[in-house]
Structure 1
Amino acid sequence: MSSSFCKCLILSIPLSLLGCTESAVGEKQMTVKASAYNSVVAQTNDNPTLAAWGDRLKPGMKAVAVSRDLIRQGLTHNTLIEIEGLPGKYRVLDKMNKRWTRKIDIYMGKDVEAAREWGVREVKIRWTPQPTEG
């Protein structure tokens, strides 16, 4: 076995234990549960257009909320992600309640019927973590 192969193997073990893999340089991918949510009081709070990091959500935006464990995986505020089965890139603008893990919530404006049709699915997501400030 070559030493570079061993280094790759050793470095990839922690990611694989978390169910997260790296594909292209720095890009990560993971399979998560994906549900959908809307800007309605019944699903959020008394200010349904205000996201957890202070962003204003507007119908038509490609935005997602992420479970807090995914934030530690590099899905931080403003990270762009690709979601298997959906066109374009979605921006991480919101956080989910602490009770959720390994989950994203796709923003669907005020289209409650579209969110119901989406339901809950397993999808593969891809992203490139943003460099940390320091």
Structure 2
Amino acid sequence: MKRLLDRTIRLGLRPPGMYSVALLTLGLCMASPALAGYHSKVVTVTAYTSAPSETSGDPDTGAWSNKLTSNTVAISPDLLARGLDDGTTVAVEGFDHDFEVRDKTADDLHNTIDIYMGKDTERAQQFGEKRLRIWWHTDD
């Protein structure tokens, strides 16, 4: 079940809801406890770089003192309360790889994730702002 869910997320498709999962091997239509803890939400997705104008302090280090890498995302403070935290793996609609939460956005942003694009400011500007679905897992 987890492999199916992981593949669904990587393809950018909506994973099945917890209450609509059919356990086909048993021929029953019931909720699967294997999906407990999976969450999704439509958020604003933007891009950021290590340009001094976009960061405070060391431009290559995130909010939790993590080294920023090509698979880093920053989250708005309100998403911390939803279970996204330092080290959380996040799938983003339309991307074929996962990201890891390693940074936080400015306090005035809400319902937003920022994809880190190194020093490529042109690529970040071209990315612009999009409304996309994200998926993540918590231990609840």
TM-score by length of 1: 0.76
106-115 or 42-51: bigger deviation:
42-51
What is the match of residue 10 of structure 1?
A: none
- Structure 1 gap segments, 5+ residues each: 1-21
What is the match of residue 15 of structure 1?
A: none
Equivalent residue for 2:39, pick from 9, 28, 35: 28
- Give the number of aligned pairs: 108
The Cα of 1:111 is off from its aligned counterpart by 1.0
Three-state SS of the structure 2 residue aligned to 1:48 is coil
CA–CA separation in structure 1 for the residues paired with 2:93 and 2:71: 14
TM-score by length of 2: 0.72
CA–CA separation in structure 1 for the residues paired with 2:108 and 2:53: 18
- Determine if the alignment matches structure 1 residue 44 to structure 2 residue 55: yes
The Cα of 1:87 is off from its aligned counterpart by 1.5
CA–CA separation in structure 1 for the residues paired with 2:125 and 2:41: 24
Q: Which amino acid aligns with 1:31?
A: V
Q: Which amino acid aligns with 2:55?
A: T
What is the match of residue 13 of structure 1?
A: none
The Cα of 1:45 is off from its aligned counterpart by 2.4
The Cα of 1:130 is off from its aligned counterpart by 4.4
Equivalent residue for 1:110, pick from 116, 119, 129: 119
Any runs of at least 4 consecutive aligned residues in structure 1 with deviations exceeding 2 A, and if so which? Answer: 22-25
Indicate the RMSD between aligned Cα atoms, in angstroms.
1.4
Shift of the 40–125 alpha-carbon distance from structure 1 to 2, 3 Å rule, reads same
The Cα of 1:46 is off from its aligned counterpart by 4.2
CA–CA separation in structure 1 for the residues paired with 2:120 and 2:53: 13
Deviations 1:71-121 (A, max 9, x none): 110001100000001121100000111101100000011111111111000
What is the match of residue 129 of structure 1?
A: 138
Does the CA-based 8 Å contact 1:50-1:56 persist in structure 2? Answer: yes
- Structure 2 gap segments, 5+ residues each: 1-16, 19-34
Q: Among the aligned pairs, what percent are the same residue?
A: 33
What is the match of residue 90 of structure 2?
A: 81
Equivalent residue for 1:90, pick from 99, 109, 112: 99
Deviations 1:37-84 (A, max 9, x none): 0011121124101110000114xx201000011011000110000000
Does the CA-based 8 Å contact 1:79-1:130 persist in structure 2? Answer: no
